[in-house]
Amino acid sequence: MKALLLESIHPFAESILREAGFEVETRTGALDESELIDALQGVDLVGIRSKTEITSGVLEKASGLTAIGAFCIGTNQIALEDAASRGIATFNAPFSNTRSVVELAVAEIIAMARRLTEKDSSLHDGVWDKNSKGSHEIRGRKLGIVGYGNIGSQLSVVAEMLGLQVFFYDTDDKLAMGNAHRCDSLEELLETAEVITLHVDGRSGNAGFFGAEQFAKMRERSLFLNLSRGFVVDYDALRENLLSGHIAGAAVDVFPTEPKKRGEAFESPLQGIPNVILTPHIGGSTEEAQEDIGRFVASKLRDYISRGTTTLSVNLPSLSMEERPGGRRITHLHRNTPGVLAKVNSILAEHGVNIEGQLLNTRGENGYVVTDVAQLPDAAVADLKAMPETTQLRVI
């Protein structure tokens, strides 16, 4: 089987897949739609990060694709429902780089509070500017976290250890960590906190949700961070608030449009503004995080292909069944309609196949059943594939 890994995925992923018997091709950059369609011909597994988009058009042409690995947290760059309807399992790394993003956020909060980038630039320009004006400790300051998921909640804990007072807002009912205080509305958070940091997910409904109206409600001389998604924030509005002095500093790691390859030109309305830290989407880009992401996602892809395990899949029913020595394993993805399991078992019985183990799970419109058998005639496989409900059938 063949695997294609794009966007400089950690070599650990390549080694795991090669050990599992895959022929692996690696590329450093992202691909556009037409390039990706060509590259996926004859490919069984594809691994991407945040810049490559796997659209419905790509999936339609990638007839041999069995699974997708998103070697990052977000999966909004993948047409997940379409992938599921075609029986293509998708896995991501929801936990592996949370600490890296948290540490970057803390570092940037301290850097902005102490105006370190400006002091650094002055010295590089040969100007000795030793004074305390505009420099503050973060101890005792009020941090507002928008989005209290894996990253936001871990940031909450670390920030409190550094002496920050933590407030958070999330559309879901989340349990507060430590002494963090939950705000009932975004407006309450903006009026309370002196530092606002965004850690929301990439769902389409979050596009443009933080703009001029929200910046106006922030406290005077606040600090602002976005390490979530570039399309969440109106950066022209942020620029206006920085130039007016209403916002004292900003740190941005994600942008609406980002270069696909290292070294390509980059433009932003935030360039050239004092006390603004711009980083090239490196929140999760530490060696430790990328190694762990490579291990985690590649292992999920390997286990899906070799055992049919879908634990933590983002688009298919989650299922894991203990391996049995010898025999064959049938993995059957299907449309979630009544009676499918009975049909599967009836076909197996008609061909004299004894079932040694079986598990079924469903998720929305999709169902997934794994069946272990001692022997499996080709005619039984053909009949299972011919079921009108079948999306994908594999025999392991």
Q: Which residues are known catalytic residues?
A: 229, 258, 281
Which of 295, 349, 213, 362 minimizes the C-alpha distance to 9?
A: 295
Neighbours of 176 (CB within 10 A): 14
Q: Is 267 left (phi over 0), alpha (psi -120 to 50) or beta?
A: beta
Enumerate residues 6+ apart whose C-beta is below 8 A from 126: none
Structure tokens at 387: 């079921």
Structure tokens at 130: 């030793």
- For residue 74, give the amino acid letter: G
Distance CA 63, CA 297 (A): 22
Distance CA 280, CA 72 (A): 15
Cα angle 160, 162, 167 (rounded to 5 degrees) comes to 30
| Strand boundaries in the chain, DSSP class E | 2-5, 23-26, 45-48, 67-70, 89-91, 142-146, 165-169, 181-182, 195-198, 222-226, 247-252, 276-278, 328-335, 355-363, 366-373, 390-395
Buried b (16+ CB within 10 A) or exposed e, 59-91: beebeebbbbbbbbbbbbbbbbebbbbbbbbbb
Sheet (strand 390-395) strand order: 355-363, 366-373, 328-335, 390-395
Distance CA 74, CA 72 (A): 6
Query: Under a CB-based contact definition with an 8 Å cutoff, are residues 68 and 4 in contact?
Result: no
- For residue 252, give the amino acid letter: V
For β-strands 366-373 and 328-335, DSSP reports them as: antiparallel
Which of 236, 241, 227 minimizes the C-alpha distance to 279?
A: 227
